[in-house]
């Protein structure tokens, strides 16, 4: 058992113990280290002013990912390298990203600038050479600027992407990887006492035992949701169990028939596997939060928190995914749709936790579509999320329909009436479509809140079902979509 966290700062190992379980990385940097270049903005992971880079050793190499320090629990950085804005320059020589921001006039008030630089630093290390404007836009979608405008910032990133990969972090990569491997151990982490603690078990058995002993503890994977409980809802969370150190729980495996996603696998790591199932699913995962959110947030956490507007559950339900859970020594698997009982209530016993998900691949006779409707395109919560899977025979008859929506009820939920109206009908049968549209209005009593009215959600759900049927019947997405056209994705893949 270990009672301190250890991580790398500026080439050396830092050891910290006796901190509050709710302590955030941002507060440690600013208040304990005095590293105040990392800014506190929204306090909820939306503006990106607090972005830092977290380095981890993967396949013997150091990989840097951007995270929001304002909602990253301090204990979660155990075993990593933390890179902040003050760390980039070598003496008086700026990092290529910093120099390009100066040369291209990418900063005015400067408040957001450190976050932009750190996101682009992570991109600089993730790429092997010049990048596209679209790639840059995706990497900075989680960084907000109201002064400069994004064009000079993107121009700076384009310029810096052509610079040699020879900064001090590339030069020290082998040494850093060695230190990270040294920090990795199989000891359980426990800081505090039985009344108030931050714990990070190293094995699933240790996690099961600890959670049975403390069933009221809050399990945290990426903290992209729980972090807001602390910073915005001002909750007191005395017992936190971080599962990011549990060996093997971040696994992702493609068996050929299904994808196994461990409970701590992040959206960033799961995205290519989901894209291999279907382009719509890959695009959905790309639009969940920002790069910072996807680097920390987990698919398992997005499902386990039971939100009625979570993006991944409707799509996974439509695909027929299965959830794996464990309590003590006992494990069980249930259809994902059976996990959601009512608003804020899940099919999970005291001391039971999610260990993973099994997501079936599509068969050749199956057509899948999913659509996310939001007020803004990037980094926004869904008003309505619709997902559809049709199993068709050679004659175009619908043998099975699975339709699931988020934002339409207190839980992600299947549209059983609409499904029944379509099953057995021809995919182009307009009469069956009409019956399905009518049944859909009976399947849900839509939510009515600040994101969308109930009437709007009902109309959007109707429209999304119509779009899915049109596309499944063979209509080109060039006619049904403004963005995310599947023909373009197919051409790019070739």
Mean pLDDT of the region 209-217: 97
Q: Are 295 and 125 in contact (CB under 8 A)?
A: no
pLDDT of residue 381: 87
Of residues 375, 379, 401, 397, the one with CA closest to residue 456:
375
Q: What is the pLDDT of residues 372-401, one digit of tens each?
A: 999 988 888 899 999 999 999 999 999 999
Same domain, 349 and 457: yes
Question: Which pLDDT band holds residue 490 (cuts at 50, 70, 90)?
Answer: low
pLDDT of residue 447: 84
Q: What is the dihedral of CA 23, 27, 28, 34, to 10 degrees?
A: -160
Question: Which pLDDT band holds residue 484 (cuts at 50, 70, 90)?
Answer: confident
Does residue 195 belong to any structural domain of this protein? no
Same domain, 266 and 361: yes
Same domain, 402 and 293: yes
- The total number of structural domains in the chain stands at 2
Measured CA to CA in angstroms, residue 226 lies from 22, 209, 369 at distances of 10, 22, 30
Asked if the model's pLDDT at residue 273 lies above 70, the reply is yes
Q: Are 472 and 427 in contact (CB under 8 A)?
A: yes
Question: Which pLDDT band holds residue 202 (cuts at 50, 70, 90)?
Answer: very high
Asked if the model's pLDDT at residue 494 lies above 60, the reply is no
Considering the chain, what percentage of its residues have pLDDT values greater than 90?
A: 90
Q: Where are the alpha helices (DSSP H) in 387-453?
A: 416-422, 430-443
Mean pLDDT of the region 342-371: 95
| Residue spans of beta strands (DSSP E) within 10-60 | 12-17, 51-58
Q: What is the dihedral of CA 410, 413, 419, 420, to 10 degrees?
A: -70
Hey, what are 373's tokens? 């409707």
Considering the chain, what percentage of its residues have pLDDT values greater than 70?
A: 99
Q: What is the pLDDT of residues 94-130, one digit of tens each?
A: 999 999 999 999 999 999 999 999 999 999 999 988 9
| Residue spans of beta strands (DSSP E) within 201-255 | 218-220, 239-242, 252-254
Same domain, 303 and 416: yes
- Within its chain, how far is the Cα of 200 from the centroid? 20
* pTM: predicted TM-score of the whole model, two decimal places: 0.94
Same domain, 311 and 453: yes
Does residue 30 belong to any structural domain of this protein? no
Does residue 204 belong to any structural domain of this protein? no
pLDDT of residue 180: 97
Last residue of one domain, picked from the residues 166, 181, 212: 166
Q: What is the pLDDT of residues 396-423, one digit of tens each?
A: 999 999 999 999 998 999 999 999 999 9
Mean pLDDT of the region 214-233: 96
Question: Which pLDDT band holds residue 15 (cuts at 50, 70, 90)?
Answer: very high
Measured in degrees and rounded to the nearest 5, phi and psi for residue 384 equal -140, 135
Asked if the model's pLDDT at residue 426 lies above 80, the reply is yes
Same domain, 273 and 126: no
Classify residue 323 by burial, with Cβ atoms within 10 Å: 0-12, 13-18, 19+. Answer: buried
Hey, what are 190's tokens? 């426990």
What is the SS3 assignment for 190? strand
Q: What is the DSSP letter of 74?
A: G
Last residue of one domain, picked from the residues 166, 185, 204: 166
Measured in degrees and rounded to the nearest 5, phi and psi for residue 406 equal -115, 150
CA distance 484 to 152: 26
pLDDT of residue 489: 67
Does residue 13 belong to any structural domain of this protein? no
Classify residue 481 by burial, with Cβ atoms within 10 Å: 0-12, 13-18, 19+. Answer: middle
pLDDT of residue 493: 60
Same domain, 265 and 379: yes
What is the SS3 assignment for 110? coil
Measured in degrees and rounded to the nearest 5, phi and psi for residue 426 equal -70, 145
What is the SS3 assignment for 184? coil
pLDDT of residue 309: 79
Asked if the model's pLDDT at residue 146 lies above 70, the reply is yes
CA distance 246 to 402: 34
Asked if the model's pLDDT at residue 197 lies above 90, the reply is yes
Q: For the domain that residue 332 is a member of, what is the CATH number? A: 3.30.390.50
Does residue 315 belong to any structural domain of this protein? yes
pLDDT of residue 23: 98
Same domain, 283 and 396: yes
Mean pLDDT of the region 305-318: 90
- Within its chain, how far is the Cα of 469 from the centroid? 28
In this structure, of 126-130, 233-237, 255-259, 464-468, the range with the lowest mean pLDDT score is: 126-130
Same domain, 162 and 262: no
Sorted by sequence, the CB contacts under 8 Å of residue 230 that are 6+ apart come out as 22, 24, 71, 237
Q: Are 336 and 303 in contact (CB under 8 A)?
A: yes
Q: For the domain that residue 113 is a member of, what is the CATH number? A: 1.10.150.120
Measured CA to CA in angstroms, residue 202 lies from 6, 25, 105, 368 at distances of 15, 21, 46, 38
Measured in degrees and rounded to the nearest 5, phi and psi for residue 372 equal -115, 120
What pairs with residue 197 in β-bridges? 192, 239
Asked if the model's pLDDT at residue 37 lies above 90, the reply is yes
CA distance 158 to 129: 10
What pairs with residue 373 in β-bridges? 384
Question: Which pLDDT band holds residue 488 (cuts at 50, 70, 90)?
Answer: confident
Does residue 180 belong to any structural domain of this protein? no
pLDDT of residue 376: 87
Does residue 259 belong to any structural domain of this protein? yes
**Summary mean pLDDT of the chain:** 95
Question: Which pLDDT band holds residue 307 (cuts at 50, 70, 90)?
Answer: confident
pLDDT of residue 491: 65
Find the domain containing 459 and state its range.
252-493
Does residue 14 belong to any structural domain of this protein? no
Last residue of one domain, picked from the residues 136, 166, 196: 166
Query: What does R_g of the chain's alpha carbons equal in angstroms?
Result: 23
């Amino acid at each position: 058992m270990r009672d301190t966290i250890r991580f790398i700062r500026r080439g050396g190992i830092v050891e910290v113990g006796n901190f509050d379980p709710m302590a955030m990385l941002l507060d440690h940097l600013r208040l304990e280290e005095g590293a105040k270049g990392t800014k506190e903005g929204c306090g909820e992971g939306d503006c990106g002013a607090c972005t830092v880079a977290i380095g981890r050793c993967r396949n013997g190499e150091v990989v840097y990912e951007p995270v929001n320090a304002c909602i990253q629990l301090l204990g979660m950085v155990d075993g990593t390298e933390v890179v902040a804005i003050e760390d980039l320059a070598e003496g008086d020589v700026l990092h290529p990203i910093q120099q390009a921001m100066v040369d291209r006039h990418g900063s005015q008030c400067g408040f957001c600038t450190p976050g932009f630089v750190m996101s682009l630093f992570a991109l600089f290390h993730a790429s092997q050479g010049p990048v596209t404007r679209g790639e840059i836009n995706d990497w900075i979608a989680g960084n907000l600027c109201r002064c400069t405008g994004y064009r000079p910032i993107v121009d700076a990133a384009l310029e810096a992407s052509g610079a040699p990969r020879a900064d001090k972090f590339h030069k020290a990569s082998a040494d850093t990887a060695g230190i990270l491997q040294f920090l990795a151990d199989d000891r359980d982490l426990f800081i505090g006492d039985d009344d108030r603690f931050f714990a990070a078990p190293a094995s699933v058995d240790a996690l099961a035992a600890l959670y049975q002993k403390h069933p009221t503890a809050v399990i945290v994977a990426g903290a992209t949701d729980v972090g807001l409980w602390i910073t915005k809802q001002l909750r007191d969370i005395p017992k936190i169990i971080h599962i990011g150190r549990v060996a093997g729980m971040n696994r992702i495996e493609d068996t050929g028939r299904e994808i196994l996603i461990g409970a701590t696998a992040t959206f960033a790591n799961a995205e290519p596997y989901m894209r291999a199932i279907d382009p719509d699913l890959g695009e959905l995962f790309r639009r969940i939060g920002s790069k910072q959110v996807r680097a920390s947030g987990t698919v398992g956490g997005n499902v386990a928190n039971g939100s009625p507007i979570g993006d991944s559950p409707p799509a996974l339900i439509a695909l027929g995914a299965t959830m794996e859970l464990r309590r003590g020594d006992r494990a069980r698997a249930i259809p994902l749709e059976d996990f959601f009982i009512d608003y804020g209530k899940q099919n999970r016993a005291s001391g039971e936790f999610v260990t993973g998900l099994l997501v079936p691949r599509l068969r050749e006779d199956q057509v899948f579509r999913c659509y996310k409707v939001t007020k803004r395109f990037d980094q926004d919560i869904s008003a309505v999320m619709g997902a559809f899977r049709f199993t068709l025979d050679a004659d175009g008859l619908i043998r099975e329909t699975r339709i699931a929506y988020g934002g339409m009820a207190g839980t992600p939920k299947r549209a059983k009436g609409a499904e029944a109206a379509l099953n057995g009908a021809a995919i182009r049968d307009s009469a069956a479509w009409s019956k399905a549209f009518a049944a859909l209005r009976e399947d849900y009593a839509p939510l009515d809140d600040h994101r969308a009215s109930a009437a709007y959600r009902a109309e959007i759900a109707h429209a999304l079902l119509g779009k899915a049927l049109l596309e499944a019947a063979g209509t080109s997405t060039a006619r049904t979509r403004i963005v995310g056209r599947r023909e373009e994705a197919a051409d790019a893949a070739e």
